[in-house]
Chain A
Amino acid sequence: MRYLDEYRDPVAARKLVQGIERAMTRPWTLMEICGGQTHTIVKFGIDRLLPKALELVHGPGCPVCVTSLEVIDRAHSIASRPEVIFTSFGDMLRVPGSQGDLLELKARGADVRVVYSPLDAVELAAKHPYRDIVFFAVGFETTAPANAMAVKQARRRGLDNFSILASHVLVPPAIEFLLQSPANRVDGFLGPGHVCTVMGTEEYEPLAERYGVPIEITGFEPVDMLEGILRTVEQLEAGEAKVRTPYRRVVSREGNPHARDLLAEVFDVCDRKWRGIGTIPASGYRLSESYRAFDAASRFDVETVETRESPICISGEILQGVKKPLDCPAFSTACTPQTPLGATMVSSEGACAAYYAYGRHLEAATTEVAR
């Protein structure tokens, strides 16, 4: 299949691995930003093909993981209202709030529906004029344009029974936050390919310069990932810290101007609380003044409930690349995809869920027995 098989080609992959081995003269730690990239690494066993001196740590780029507990509780409170049809991307349904998850709310009678696009939620609003249709608008810059488009269409069509619960997050402030942390040990970044498809790469240049870290904007298939890794290592070995784009087939320096204009029209940048990390200044989108009428949080006047996180869960440290899933005492015992204690186990893109889905815990147990 075109655009797939050539990026999963074993011969190309082997060549890149050899290139990485040749290029390395000392240990390096790289972070992949996106949850999708983490998934590819574990699914294809890419970390195991690499030299031991090269460590991959997993970044904060899983939108489901970093959505704060307060927002999730707010979503649950809205979804529980009888007049509401609550729509969401699939993997938000299993995220536990303080009182269970959306699947449980659904089991108790809430009208919760999975959609593949926010525009489908707009269609529902047209089809059910006497119901309130709320879309759970989470995600990075990648999903934001479609959500902006949904709001814009709803306004154009006069669908005032449509609203979104917006909790968008932005990548560059998160990278800066990680780099400012005293615990940071990341030498170079595999940048977020699809975020940059929308936003372009320009805003990463000051980060690379200020903090002296190379950033290679990387794709999501095995060969893409290995190429990003090789090029980051090459920059590090050469003492360079530039933003470059191996994922050129979809990313340009200016991004998608139409999408960016739309984002500027519909959203304002705001401070945002990240689950497991805390509040990062200017790291989120909320609806701009002229679209505020479509804001579900104010429309339904939801009280902020007090929230409590599991004291055992280390997802914050995992999201910041300080620790890895196997460092957690609860991983695969008290915390599993059926009983997630925290953010990174919940989403299929979370690092803990990826480790679990591809059986890293079973392998760890087997190795333990073999010893």
Chain B
Amino acid sequence: MSTTTLPPDGFNAAPKLADVLPPRKERGRIGMFIYRHPTIAVGGFMVSLFVLMAIFAPLLWTVDPTALAPARRTRPPSAQWWFGTDMLGRDVYSRVVYGARISLIVGFATAIISAVIGLTIGLISGFIRAVDAVVMRVMDGLMSIPSILLAIAMMALTRASVENVIIALVIADVPRVARLVRGVVLTLREQPYVEAAVAAGTRTPMIIWKHILPNTLAPVTVQATFFCASAMISEATLSFIGAGTPPIIPSWGNIMAEGRALWQVKPYIVFFPAIFLSITVLSVNLLGDGLRDALDPRMAKRI
């Protein structure tokens, strides 16, 4: 601390802000963001590309992905059929582009729904001890069910649909979010700033809203991005084994399933959806990694 700005006794006057804190570095907002969080920038950019691709699928030089043309089955990639055609003569490129819709819908829906439900359950059981014991045993029970098996069982009982895939994956993910949130809430409750808020007369709902919730959002967001990535893989797995998205709707999983039989002679039918799936999952995971680094309070000091 500089002594020049302080009066002799050092305590009677407040110092100027500039003496207390260094001035903030000026940089363009977008430039600053990319500089500070390169992984979020790359991951976010790639995820948004895929989202745009899914939304504008009809405009991306695609044809009807379900149109059958037995006369031109299993054509290799060419100028006319960029990714070739499958066993029923459907355009693989169009199917892959439309398939992005299913992957992204399943990924985002699973992540958002399980985050919201898990957050609510976690907050409640972290705060109300009586509820905690019961709810957490139920969550333990749910967690012991493998998500893929649960999904297969649900498909066997009902009919195959995208909604059922989402429901099965949400049931598997909710307990994980709930446990995470509960753990965070239990540690946050003991934080001195929460105790100070109690001493300052803040009522419990406001404590949850102002002190607990904002501090749980970061880990939940990070967890949700990873659930999004793993939900995409699970959806592809389920569709691949025929227990997921019905074959009438193209999804990366069932495109691969249909190409599986011809894998050794016509590898491109499997190759293109697999590459798209990998790159999408990679970009969502990059985004998640970046968010984890950026939202970690210990990293917040890097201003």
Partners in one complex: no
Residues of B within 8 A of A (CB): none
